[in-house]
A and B are shown apart, each in its own frame.
Chain A
């Protein structure tokens, strides 16, 4: 399957928040790399998708940003989860799970009278 570049915004949010939760504060490149890795390179995020999304998360108050220094001594902008972000992540996770199970019910093969 060729890599996908179009990601529904809601899914992207979940992935970004989850990444930040698991990895702690990260810069944009770090987030993109992580998501690519976890998705086993089936997802390729371009800048036009990632950065506006990060801005929106900031506008919503789920992440905050600050300038810091990266591993190789470069100045980079880091993004970190806020408490509100954590709550949102929890909500989104539950939402996703619930949706998943409902849709799953439709996907299960029929038990009687195939």
Chain B
């Protein structure tokens, strides 16, 4: 208790806030004491001068007394710290170039690391924002014949999975739903899902308003009710607090809003890379869709205490039972159980960790650089430090002073770094929603700030300690006598730092190179369809007007015809699934061909594309044989179709398919005559392989939703206003969405690669810059510390070229070691970006060689530039000075 009181007083004393303890009072007290002592002695008979002298001796060092008093009054350690801090700031201000260089490089390193760490922590480490997220899993169909995982499932199969399993507590099937919301403000196409009644309970998230689906509300004849998202509620309904119970119009039908989800809620597995904003009941009965038609996703909550292995074994049993019961459909089907955490972030995990490592590399490089800068500075302050030492400063005191300077630099770097990190996390949250899962949860919070502080301290130790310790090891006297030029001019510490910098820079450069090469490959892949001069859009026909197949077909016919009349438009067509969007990709089973005879069980699936006649010409897909679909193919005429090369290989291997028939398990057409063969296209983007496809005419297979593509003469963007006008003229209530050029659509597929390529390239450039500055610094240092030797050599007849060659060789050795080290590290570590690479080996020799060459060249150029300083040495002057 007393101790606390003492410390409190001392704390106040340190700031001069304690009453009646200030030093002028002490001075008066001491003076009084001295006088009294002197008077006493005089009274004892001693002469005044002698008395005073004796009193002074007895007093024992007045200034020492004042120091001791001052020490007791305040907190000497704190005051010392304050002193050091003020001094540090003063000296740093007098060396702006040095301070800026160190603070800036530290800020970039700390900022990058902090930002990436924040992202990694939130995305990878934090549990998903669902109730007991560890128990949530996704169920996928595993095709044992093709080896495909992540397959969607049919409704009857799904029902059996659930009813026959022992480990599932509750579950819900779901699929995408893109209704058009019509209201007073026009029409808007929404992204949403049709879900089983337990969907929100499986996820364990309660609604913000109202309720979610009750049991039975997903039945075929259930009430038309929907749950809406927070964003939709705010945007379209102005956050109306009485929205629950109100009716809204989706796809022309009235739905009652029964609940609103909270703002943070996201659909578990983002469909179509969009956020779902509306959920309705699945409205499926068990007998409504065939067992062989797979189109649903399934999410489930395991019973408490169930491990993943137990669930997997349980569902393996279910799968084998179904295989026996329904050999036609399920003979080769397994069930995958994927924990939700892995589902959402699994793909991103390795690359996020790689990014964290890259950021750490940048930080290390920044610290290494700061270390060499610190060292140089300390060397140049050798005389100042020597003076301090001669005046009585202990080694520890000098070390403490240097440490404060270090920490000040690190502190400034850390503060700026934190600002950089904050801005970066905000930017990432807004601009990288598709590249990084759970991007909406990224934020800079207190624990991350704490980690940043720790990183800052670690950085300070890294870059400050070694130079400081090294520098204080010298002898003060020797330095004072001007022997400062006699440092060991080999700069070992600098070399070590530089080697590390170069190695890390090479690793980063290699990774960036690999990702760039991937991008180049991706863009070079022939897609089979035209990407330039094509505009794409999505639409859904809703309402009473389009209830019959005839009206749907008529609308698209009118629309495409009107679109083709726009000046600058070459062709327009409707297609159920626009390539590279991943939308409405339907896989239907086949029942064989006329050659094999109609099978009674579904065989290999084929992608089912419903298109209007001008589709092929709009997308410029090559016709290999036979004829294109035309306006003559109508609902009364023989059912025809085009198939692609891959389909020929699968269903008509080795023969000409023209004229033969293919039997399909589709909604409409059961049997089509092949009239033409199209070239393969990569429907899922540059990184996918072509799959068997069948193209059927819209007129024969009416459809009410999908995409419209338009071929333009000029840029696709230029006709957007005209397109909107035409659509509006045809039907003002038609909602057209996702109006973008085909080029943009395809770019989205490789968005991840592009994002990380940019990121790594930025890191690499920073690393390159810093390392190259390091090389320059090393050679400049060598020149300055070896001035005498160089001057002597030149005086003895050596040419400047020899000197330069000598310096370059010196630098080249360090560079070489750094690059070798870097190559070894690169070979070991570039594997981590492998998940992003496309047709590029993680150890691609070409890329590694190129990165090495670039780094080596730039380093040597820097070394050369620095060694030119040797030419400024005038031997006579140097020798005269020393």
Q: Which residues of A (2-38) have their CB < 8 Å from a CB of B?
A: 5, 27-29, 32-33
Chain A residues contacting B73 (CB-CB under 8 Å) are 55
Binds A, one of B1-9, B297-305, B639-647: B1-9
Assess whether A29 is in contact with B69, with CB atoms less than 8 Å apart.
no
**CB proximity of B30 to chain A, nearest CB, Å:** 6
Is the pair B60, A59 in contact by a Cβ cutoff of 8 Å? Answer: no
Beta-carbon contact of A52 and B58 below 8 Å: no
B20 at the binding interface (Cβ < 8 Å):
yes
Complex CA–CA separation, A108 to B498 (angstroms): 72
- Cβ of B30: which chain A residues have Cβ within 8 Å of it? 47, 51
Whole-angstrom CA separation of A107 from B58 in the bound complex:
35
Q: A48's contact among B10, B28, B32, B60, by CB below 8 Å, is which?
A: B60
Q: Is A86 an interface residue (CB 8 A)?
A: no
Chain B 784-822, CB within 8 Å of chain A: the 1/0 string? 000000000000000000000000000000000000000
The listed residue (B9, B10, B29, B35) touching A51 by CB distance below 8 A is B29
In the complex, the answer to whether B21 meets A55 with C-beta atoms within 8 Å is yes
Determine the chain B residues whose CB is within 8 A of the CB of A59 once the complex forms: 5-6, 9-10, 72
Contact A46 B65 (CB under 8 A): yes
In the complex the two chains form, what is the Cα distance from A61 to B4 in whole Å? Answer: 11
Q: Bound complex: CA of A4 vs CA of B687, how far in Å?
A: 91
Q: Does A65 contact B (CB under 8 A)?
A: yes
- Chain A residues lying within 8 Å of B729, measured Cβ to Cβ, are none
Q: A29-B37, A48-B64 are in contact. Are A58 and B21 (CB under 8 A)?
A: yes
CB within 8 A of B28: which of A29, A55, A56, A75? A75
Fill in one digit per residue for B3-34: 1 if any A CB lies within 8 Å of its CB, else 0: 00110011000000000110001101110110
Residue among B9, B29, B67 facing the most chain A CB atoms (10 A cut-off): B29
Cβ of B71 within 8 Å of any chain A Cβ, yes or no, is yes
Size category, A interface: 20 to 34
| Residue among A32, A47, A56, A61 facing the most chain B CB atoms (10 A cut-off) | A47
Query: Is B39 part of the binding interface, using a Cβ–Cβ cutoff of 8 Å?
Result: yes
Assembled-state Cα–Cα distance A46/B55 (Å): 10
Q: Is the CB of B6 within 8 A of A60?
A: yes
Q: B residues within 8 A CB of A28?
A: 29, 32-33
Q: Are B35 and A74 in contact (CB under 8 A)?
A: yes
A72 interface residue, CB < 8 Å from B? yes
Instruction: Select one of A51, A52, A72 contacting B39, CB under 8 A.
Output: A72
A44 within 8 A of B: yes
Determine whether the beta carbon of A76 is less than 8 Å from that of B29: yes
With A46-B65, A52-B69 already in contact, 14 other A-B pairs whose C-beta atoms are closer than 8 Å: A28-B32, A29-B36, A44-B58, A47-B65, A48-B60, A49-B68, A51-B69, A59-B5, A59-B6, A60-B6, A70-B32, A76-B32, A76-B36, A77-B25
* Interface positions of A (Cβ within 8 A of B): 5, 27-29, 32-33, 44, 46-49, 51-52, 55-56, 58-61, 65, 70, 72, 74-77
Q: Which 3 A-B pairs have the closest CB atoms?
A: A46-B60, A47-B65, A52-B72
- The interface of chain B, by Cβ under 8 A from chain A, is 2, 5-6, 9-10, 20-21, 25-26, 28-30, 32-33, 35-37, 39-40, 58-62, 64-65, 67-69, 71-73
